[in-house]
Structure 1
């Protein structure tokens, strides 16, 4: 079983803890729930499956039943808080606390780099820009960005990208991408950062309407009435369209400028109920 600091879902951790104990002994969910002081024999099974939630008091009892150390209990408690958080701002703050606990104990949350990458627009932009300007200093890269940033921000971003193995730096100070694209993957925390990325890029798109010459930008839109089946088909078409765009953009290694493509398809009304 992985160490607790490699988890971001407390439900998955409980399930894995049970599976490991079960594999080594005649451990049952009844034994587990009894050790945590619950009367229901399947309570923790339902928690791990997502049907029930843990209260603060229950969280402490479950952590004690699993014999977690002090910092492990703190981390487990933050995972429960992350699961219960209602807003992206809450989730973001809690996940950063989880990262802090892990890093203070020389551990790494596998989702941490992905979370940090999608948390700021600077990461994907500098990741594309640095290889396109071989040997350029942070100040030159900063001046090339349309949203104004400082050389210090560029340096910090470059250091993160190299540390996260999203860029490689050679002996001449030139950067190269380690992979063509960056995918979110099946993460628990990353969607919070991805939504923040969409918000940031949406704001930049609004600014581009007035701030970028019309011959350097393209905006278009459609307002459509659709069925649920049509929605699913359109989303699939958008996914295929994105693949074709990536193929065009990566046809050559040359880059003249870094662009952002936003594809948005969202409801403007509530669902209609048809009447005969």
Structure 2
């Protein structure tokens, strides 16, 4: 499901959201409408068909129904205004706001040589850390990384990030991000992402002992589910991931780089694939 920021028609976005939810669950127009707190059971369907519109309150309820927060929620507000405004001046103002939000929160798809960004954890970390430390020398940045890399490695990494347009140098030893979000192309994903997940899983293990509980959060669930449950949980994880990205990119700046691992994996084989032994 594409981000709302990629749309210029709010009805199309709402309909695509409905179709996306319906593909992997028993989602219905009634459920969609109920989630938004509307009383008419088919109200969302009428909106998507252009037979009804969204009031100011309705915009917020529809945004709630689609779990939109942060920049995506604000973009949706402007998207509806753009679609429903009668005056050209209002349409122009809404469209201008949409473009500004889209520009600040656009997603870059990594392809070709740029996928080497995922070859080492230092690249995604420095992309976040360097803008937080304006004027910092490579030695200072290396220290903030726990001296996992030398100052020379940091200098070379910053040169790569600037050359590949992940960062933009605005002054001496001062950087800002070119895009707020990144996405890897599907073709490059299998090998590099596996290695990055292995690396980050090791860091997660070390963090249990390295950081106090108030600076980290580890929770887990062991559960018995089937294929349908698994598909539904994946949808929830993806929606949650998108909400977290929206929070993290809603404002510039920060004081620390965090990593969130979202892991869901089997602990056993499928029961139907196991032949149980019986005593005779």
Question: TM > 0.5 between the two?
Answer: yes
Pairs aligned (count)? 165
Q: Could you tell me which residue of structure 1 aligns to residue 270 of structure 2?
A: 271
Q: TM-score, normalised by structure 1?
A: 0.57
Q: Could you tell me which residue of structure 1 aligns to residue 131 of structure 2?
A: 131
Q: Could you tell me which residue of structure 2 aligns to residue 217 of structure 1?
A: 216
Distance in 2 of aligned mates of 1:174 and 1:230: 47
In angstroms, what is the RMSD of aligned CA positions? 1.9
Q: Could you tell me which residue of structure 2 aligns to residue 121 of structure 1?
A: 121
Asked if the contact 1:161/1:167 (under 8 Å) is kept, the reply is: yes
Structure 1 spans left out of the alignment, 5+ residues: 1-108
Structure 2 spans left out of the alignment, 5+ residues: 1-109, 276-280
SS in structure 2 at match of 1:182: strand
Q: 1:191 to 1:146 in 2, by over 3 A?
A: farther
Distance in 1 of aligned mates of 2:272 and 2:147: 44
Residue by residue, what CA displacement relative to the aligned partner does 1:71-96 show, whole Å, maximum 9, x if unpaired?
A: xxxxxxxxxxxxxxxxxxxxxxxxxx
Asked if the contact 2:123/2:161 (under 8 Å) is kept, the reply is: yes
Asked if the contact 1:111/1:190 (under 8 Å) is kept, the reply is: no
Distance in 2 of aligned mates of 1:217 and 1:179: 27
TM-fit CA distance, 1:254? 2.1
Distance in 1 of aligned mates of 2:205 and 2:147: 12
TM-fit CA distance, 1:146? 3.5
Is 1:159 aligned to 2:183, yes or no?
no
Q: TM-score, normalised by structure 2?
A: 0.56
Asked if the contact 2:114/2:164 (under 8 Å) is kept, the reply is: yes
Is 1:255 aligned to 2:254, yes or no?
yes
Moved >3 Å (runs of 4+): none
Q: 1:130 to 1:113 in 2, by over 3 A?
A: same
SS in structure 2 at match of 1:176: strand
Q: Could you tell me which residue of structure 2 aligns to residue 144 of structure 1?
A: 144
Asked if the contact 2:111/2:184 (under 8 Å) is kept, the reply is: no
Q: 1:128 to 1:198 in 2, by over 3 A?
A: same
Q: 1:151 to 1:134 in 2, by over 3 A?
A: same
Asked if the contact 1:162/1:169 (under 8 Å) is kept, the reply is: yes
Distance in 2 of aligned mates of 1:200 and 1:186: 20
Asked if the contact 2:111/2:185 (under 8 Å) is kept, the reply is: no
Map 1:128-207 onto structure 2 (within 5 A): 128-146=128-146, 148-187=148-187, 189-207=188-206
Q: Could you tell me which residue of structure 2 aligns to residue 74 of structure 1?
A: none
TM-fit CA distance, 1:147? 6.3
TM-fit CA distance, 1:145? 1.0
Distance in 2 of aligned mates of 1:233 and 1:195: 23
Distance in 1 of aligned mates of 2:113 and 2:253: 30
Residue by residue, what CA displacement relative to the aligned partner does 1:154-213 show, whole Å, maximum 9, x if unpaired?
A: 1111111111111111243311101011111232x3421111110000000100011111
Q: Could you tell me which residue of structure 2 aligns to residue 235 of structure 1?
A: 234
Q: 1:173 to 1:146 in 2, by over 3 A?
A: closer
TM-fit CA distance, 1:251? 2.2
